[in-house]
């Protein structure tokens, strides 16, 4: 298991929230989707989740990896893993 930190979220026109979590180095990421109303009726996304290594995808773009690493560092410094963001 690897701990990954919330680095990005986006809401589309269908009210689907796409949350991207990344490793602290920004080199691997995990994406999860949920309906906005589902998140509103229960706890929202947490600052971090633990994910099986085989569910992590490589981040191929160096600029994206750098952005993810910076955001993971910021989120980890400011939040406990179970904090709802």
Q: Is residue 83 part of a domain?
A: no
Q: Is residue 17 part of a domain?
A: yes
Q: Is residue 64 part of a domain?
A: yes
| pLDDT(75) > 90 | yes
Q: Is residue 20 part of a domain?
A: yes
Q: Is residue 85 part of a domain?
A: no
Q: What is the per-residue pLDDT across 12-67, written as a single tens digit (0 to 9) for each?
A: 888 888 999 999 999 999 999 888 777 655 667 889 999 999 999 999 999 999 99
Residues 6+ apart with CB under 8 A from 54: none
Q: Which domain holds residue 42?
A: 2-78
Residues 6+ apart with CB under 8 A from 18: 9, 10, 11, 12, 31, 32, 33
Residues 6+ apart with CB under 8 A from 20: 6, 7, 8, 9, 29, 30, 31, 68
Q: Is residue 52 part of a domain?
A: yes
Q: Is residue 22 part of a domain?
A: yes
The predicted structure's pLDDT at residue 28? 98
This prediction's pTM: 0.89
Q: Is residue 59 part of a domain?
A: yes
Q: What is the per-residue pLDDT across 53-67, written as a single tens digit (0 to 9) for each?
A: 999 999 999 999 999
Overall number of domains in the chain: 1
């Amino acid at each position: 298991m690897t701990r990954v930190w919330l680095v990005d979220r986006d809401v589309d026109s269908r009210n689907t929230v796409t949350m991207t979590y990344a490793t602290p180095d920004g080199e691997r990421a995990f994406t999860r989707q949920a309906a906005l109303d589902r998140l509103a009726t229960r706890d929202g996304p947490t600052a971090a989740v633990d994910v099986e290594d085989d569910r992590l995808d490589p981040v191929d773009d160096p600029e994206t990896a750098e952005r993810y690493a910076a955001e993971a560092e910021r989120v980890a410094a400011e939040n406990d893993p179970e904090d709802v963001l």
